[in-house]
Amino acid sequence: MPGSEKAECRPEMVQAYADGQLGVAETLELEHHLKTCANCAAAYRNHRALSAALADPALYYKAPPALRDRLGAALTSRGARTEVAPPPPPAPRRLLWRSLALAALAAFVVIMTATLSIRLGRTAPSELLVRDVVQSHVRSLLLNHLTDVPSSDQHTVKPWFNGKLDFSPPVKDLAADGFVLVGGRIDVIEDRPVAALIYRRRAHYINLFVWPSADQPGALIVTARRGFNVIHWNEMGMACWAVSDLNRAELQQFADLLRTAS
């Protein structure tokens, strides 16, 4: 991107990117900028961390049942107007406790914000991780950079990762089941290098992202973002994320075949 970092800094674009409101072209442009501008990268991480903290239900006040009942009765009453007597003014002791409660809440928010600033290196929420893998899939298609090692031979693709990653990704041959191995590449998810294995089902490409994980194996987690289906599972100490515009049933068949072949 031309120009100095200072001229390129646009805080409103960083916030829109963190909220998933940018188009594909603007997303690619800003992702490039975040790699070269430490200030905007820090602002982006802060926004993600603060959004996750503010989503905590514990931060929100829940009205007591008596107040909800009074409001419901006032709103649903019909016929003659009913005057609801205003609550008596709070006694000095109540005012004191309310002030203390508000002060405690303010202190909690300050402490939470400071703690999140210190812990920016922790794993992002799963929703942000889903967005990251989808963006990596879209980027590989737009930039025509699906593979670093184009090959349908698993014995060529798997050794290619040796020395380039600190783990060895499992590479399966599923051509007999209609999922042809196209090759592999190294990608970056959440600031760490991961293996990306590319498969093709007719005219549809599948990005299979793989990296080490301490999570226990479990059921498939199926979701969709921006018109792409996403399936996540853990097996053999690896986190696996399959992303494609292939229909959900066939992408789940792909995931099942990989788990069966383990």
Domain residue ranges of the chain, discontinuous segments joined by +: 5-54, 57-118, 126-260
Model pTM score: 0.56
**Which of 229 and 94 is assigned the larger pLDDT?**
229
* Calpha distance 68→65 (Å, rounded): 5
Q: DSSP letter string over 49-110?
A: HHHHHHT-GGGS----HHHHHHHHHHHH--SS--PPPPPPPPPHHHHHHHHHHHHHHHHHHH
Q: What is the mean pLDDT of residues 56-64?
A: 61
**Which of 104 and 227 is assigned the larger pLDDT?**
227
pLDDT at 185 over 80: yes
Sequence-distant (≥ 6) Cβ neighbours of residue 34 within 8 angstroms: 14, 40, 41, 44
Query: Are 233 and 255 in contact, with CB atoms under 8 Å apart?
Result: yes
Which segment, 14-23, 70-79, 113-122, 251-260, is predicted with the most confidence on average? 251-260
pLDDT at 202 over 80: yes
pLDDT per position as a tens digit, 125-175: 478 899 999 999 999 998 888 999 999 999 999 999 999 999 999 999 999
pLDDT at 231 over 90: yes
Query: Are 221 and 231 in contact, with CB atoms under 8 Å apart?
Result: yes
CATH superfamily of this structure's domain 126-260: MucB/RseB, C-terminal domain (3.30.200.100)
Burial of 192 (0-12, 13-18, 19+ CB in 10 A): exposed
Phi, psi dihedral angles at 13 (to 5 degrees)? -70, -35
pLDDT at 14 over 60: yes
pLDDT at 161: 97
**Which of 111 and 149 is assigned the larger pLDDT?**
149
Query: Are 117 and 49 in contact, with CB atoms under 8 Å apart?
Result: yes
* Calpha distance 67→6 (Å, rounded): 52
Closest CA to 39 of 11, 1, 17, 77: 11
pLDDT per position as a tens digit, 25-53: 788 887 888 778 877 877 777 777 666 65
